[in-house]
Amino acid sequence: MQMEPQSSGEMVLSRKRRRESSNGEPEEGERLGKIPRCTVGLKNPAPFADELEPARNKPYERVSMDEAKRGTPFDRPVRVYADGIFDVFHSGHARALMQAKRLFPNTHLIVGVCSDELTHKYKGFTVMNEDERYDAIRHCRYVDEVVRNAPWTLSPEFLARHRIDFVAHDDIPYSSAGSDDVYKHIKEAGMFAPTQRTEGISTSDIITRIVRDYDVYVRRNLQRGYTAKELNVSFINEKKYHLQERVDKVKRKVRDVEEKSKEFVQKVEEKSIDLIQKWEEKSREFIGNFLQMFGPEGALKHMLKEGKGRMLQAISPRQSPNSSPTREERSPSPTFRLPFFSKTSPPPSPPHHSGARGYLISEDDDEDD
């Protein structure tokens, strides 16, 4: 027997109090409270009703609406029944079951799923067979028990056998099987608990999308390995779809090349802009350095002026100071011999006062010259 998922209800009560819309979701503008981290998932799917032990220890006594809203003991949950076809199980189905599960603080949700025979008779052909639909409902987290081959119209015997307290369904009259509303007698008995439909999604809407884009899905499945026979597609249509797929591949390749070309051109433009900016910066730097060196007030002009001054200073004669001693007062300078006068040369004759110079040369003579 599956344990009651009390932790789910406790978790809901522990959230920050907020208003909810008709389909159980918080209204727009409301902020969701933070949920404590905990493991609330169930390990096993919901059991089938015909596999459970019959509850014969207590007589069947219904719970009133007020008692159910106040809360019942842990060992006496409110037994809520919801039925349907649940073909191509989607979020709209799950939301409806969530609303049914959250009708009362302590709820045991029983879900009835109609068989293929009844469904094809009263509603139409289904995408999923009955076993697939049974299994889909078993693995919904809000479901506690599944009734296979559920009746199209609920009888008092069926309600008593499954000990049902309330029946959950949207309150739109459901005309079928020659009746304006198959839940009319349930509403009159005070056992009806209304839920709200989720707008924008239904099994019919999903089938409409598939039919509308039939070619797309046929090509998709052919590409994934399904044969034309499995898809009930003729030979001509198969070739047409394969040709369309090839054309689309070529178009995708062209788009990819265009996108890559655009990316390449964009990268080249970005790099060219960077190169131009760097070139401009280097050009400014080069021009600045050139002007600093060769400009009117550049370093070269100052270097030439400085060099010219030094050259003029080097080639101009030094002026003798006014207090310098006369030639007579100077001390005799040491004499030097010319290299061609060797030791074998005769000693030089003393100088004459006639002004003729001998072979003795002094520093003073050099200076006079």
Tens of pLDDT along 138-188? 999 999 999 999 999 999 999 999 999 999 999 888 887 678 889 999 999
Does residue 92 have a pLDDT over 90?
yes
Which has more pLDDT, 28 or 247? 247
Per-residue DSSP letters for 171-234?
SS---BTTBS-TTHHHHHTT-EEEE---TT--HHHHHHHHHHTHHHHHHHHHHTT--TTTTT--
Instruction: Report the pLDDT value the prediction gives residue 14, as an integer from 0 to 100.
Output: 37
Q: Tell me the per-residue pLDDT of 96-147, one tens digit each, with 9 for 90 and over.
A: 999 999 999 999 999 999 999 999 999 999 999 999 999 999 999 999 999 9
Would you say residue 81 has pLDDT above 90?
A: yes
Nearest Cα residue to 119 out of 146, 149, 90, 94 = 149
Of 138, 126, 132, 155, the C-alpha closest to 48 is: 138
58 or 180: which leads in pLDDT:
180
- Mean pLDDT for 234-245 is 86
Query: Which one has a higher pLDDT value, 25 or 208?
Result: 208
pLDDT of residue 91: 95
Other Cβ atoms closer than 10 A to 219: 20
What's the pTM value of the predicted model, to 2 decimals?
Answer: 0.60
> Which residue from 244, 181, 172 is spatially nearest to 215, judged by alpha carbons?
244
349/233: higher pLDDT:
233
pLDDT in tens, 176-211: 767 888 999 999 999 999 999 999 999 999 999 999
* One-letter amino acid for residue 223 of the chain: Q
- pLDDT score for 176: 78
267, pLDDT greater than 90: no
